[in-house]
Amino acid sequence: MDNKTYDIHVIGGGLAGSEAAWQLARRGFSVRLSEMRGGGGSTDAHQTDGLAELVCSNSFRSDDDTSNAVGLLHHEMRECDSLVMRAAAEAQVPAGSALAVDRDVFSAHVEKALADLPNVTIVREKIDVLPDAGMTIVATGPLTAASLASSIGAATGAEALAFFDAIAPIVHRDTVDMDICWMASRWDKGDGKDYINCPMNKEQYVAFRQGLLDGEKTEFKEWEANTPYFEGCMPIEVMAARGEDTLRFGPMKPVGLDNPHAATPEFPNGRWPYAVVQLRQDNKLGTLWNMVGFQTKLKHGAQKELFRTIPGLEKAEFARLGGLHRNTFLNSPILLDRQLRLKSAPHIRFAGQITGCEGYVESSAVGLMAGMMAAAEMAGRQWTSPPRTTAMGALLSHITGDAEADSYQPMNVNFGLFPMPDEAVKKKDRKRAYTERGKRDMQHWLSETKAAEPA
């Protein structure tokens, strides 16, 4: 397939690239979708060559669209016929008020949906340099191959920033001791039994935290030195080093979890554990469960030894141990225009985590917008961004100019990116005011956008 047989080239078959290709193809444009995995390329984090593989958590976070920013983003993406949201619905597994998926079912659904479109050609190939002509979307994610990253650096005239991201372990469900653990959601949300809870008393917690501090860690390579962590995906041992109770107010918080085994001598302080390790279902069969918030840079041997001291996980078998990888992203407020185009080469757009958004949903949403922008440009139509009062608009504004370029860091969608609601709204009602306003403004924007698009 040569340059004359497709309208646009999408480089990267992750969440953002897959979503961009879907949006373009659904609008009648032909797409070449290049993915290096399966075509001579690989990364330290991916396990398969499937499109839209989830390499960290299997959760898309809160699905509450009444009082949560990421839940509002879910809603907006569904309204835009998002492929990622379609696939998530097909692959959903129980997770309380969160949207979590079977990662294999999810990836397979995305790949099949794109392969079934006659105007999408999926090519397994490694792209080493940015195209010097032709409409292009680069969605290679935070693990962009070194050769392409070098080409991007040459085109931008500025160095990419970088941070570390870590992966949580996955446990086989049938190796968890349910005589010690129990199933419940915090405050009985969801169906009330969406998480496996491993309780600790104070002595166990103190020993576990010390084990995190003392455990053998992955050594940094020379090129990784002085690279900061992203606060939203902090390795658990780094949190442990911040203070004795940091974990108890973070991923190991025990509030809202009533231990039914509390009458045993193991827990003399009563029904509330001192700390809790939670496991969340990772596949539809319910055979794999991931350790929530337990992304880590401990070496594999140290992980097995320490994590088997957690009550209920003494005989745990791990389908995957935790890991650490280096993420890279652009200083987008300086390098990209308001339509995600590279200022020095406007035929190239960037999408997904390489732009400096953080999270599966945010990455997909930026890919969705990049696809819509490119489609409008190729159709000769003016693109109007979603209002800043919407989750998509707020995220786009952060990436393309509202953030301080000198201190630009990856960001999850949050209400801090939105304009404040009317001053008359009481503080307790503010989150609902954000979401109601966002839904209303998104619907208005979509009605105008769709009216401008060809049938």
Number of domains in the chain: 2
- pLDDT for res 1: 41
Tokens 């959601």 found at: 185
Has 16 been labeled as part of a binding site? yes
- pLDDT for res 156: 86
Claim to verify: residue 178 and residue 229 sit in the same structural domain: yes
CATH of the domain at 92: 3.50.50.60
- Model confidence at 4, in pLDDT bands (50, 70, 90)? low
Claim to verify: residue 277 and residue 252 sit in the same structural domain: yes
CATH of the domain at 298: 2.40.30.260
Claim to verify: residue 177 and residue 280 sit in the same structural domain: yes
Least confident of 7-21, 155-169, 218-232: 218-232
Mean pLDDT of the chain: 89
- Asked if pLDDT for residue 302 goes beyond 60, the answer is yes
- pLDDT for res 206: 97
Q: What is the mean pLDDT of residues 306-314?
A: 97
87/54 Cα distance (integer angstroms): 12
Has 14 been labeled as part of a binding site? yes
Claim to verify: residue 314 and residue 340 sit in the same structural domain: no
Claim to verify: residue 63 and residue 209 sit in the same structural domain: no
Whether 167 and 55 have beta carbons less than 8 Å apart is answered as: yes
Least confident of 169-183, 229-243, 359-373: 229-243
- Model confidence at 37, in pLDDT bands (50, 70, 90)? confident
Claim to verify: residue 287 and residue 424 sit in the same structural domain: no
pLDDT in tens, 179-226: 999 999 988 776 767 899 999 999 999 999 999 999 998 876 654 556
Dihedral over Cα of 235, 239, 245, 249: its sign: negative
**Domain edge (last residue) among 304, 326, 348:** 326
**Domain edge (last residue) among 326, 351, 379:** 326
- pLDDT for res 233: 73
Claim to verify: residue 140 and residue 186 sit in the same structural domain: no
**Numbers of helices and strands, H then E, in the chain:** 12, 17
**Domain edge (last residue) among 272, 303, 326:** 326
Whether 339 and 373 have beta carbons less than 8 Å apart is answered as: yes
Has 13 been labeled as part of a binding site? yes
> Which residues are CB-contacts of 128 (< 8 A; sequence separation ≥ 6)?
145, 147, 148, 151
- Asked if pLDDT for residue 142 goes beyond 70, the answer is yes
∠ CA 228-234-238, rounded to 5°: 85
Q: What region does 201 belong to: left with phi over 0, alpha with psi -120 to 50, or beta?
A: beta
| Structural domain harbouring 435 | 3-160+330-452
Claim to verify: residue 108 and residue 197 sit in the same structural domain: no
Crossing angle of helices 15-26/360-378, nearest 10°?
30
Of these ranges, 11-25, 244-258, 316-330, 424-438, the one predicted with the greatest mean pLDDT is 11-25
Q: Where is pLDDT greater, at 268 or 264?
A: 264
Claim to verify: residue 189 and residue 315 sit in the same structural domain: yes
Has 12 been labeled as part of a binding site? yes
Claim to verify: residue 351 and residue 272 sit in the same structural domain: no
Claim to verify: residue 251 and residue 180 sit in the same structural domain: yes
Its pTM surpasses 0.95: no
Claim to verify: residue 144 and residue 217 sit in the same structural domain: no
**Coil, strand, or helix at residue 13?**
coil
Ranges assigned E (strand) in 318-407: 318-320, 323-329, 341-342, 345-350
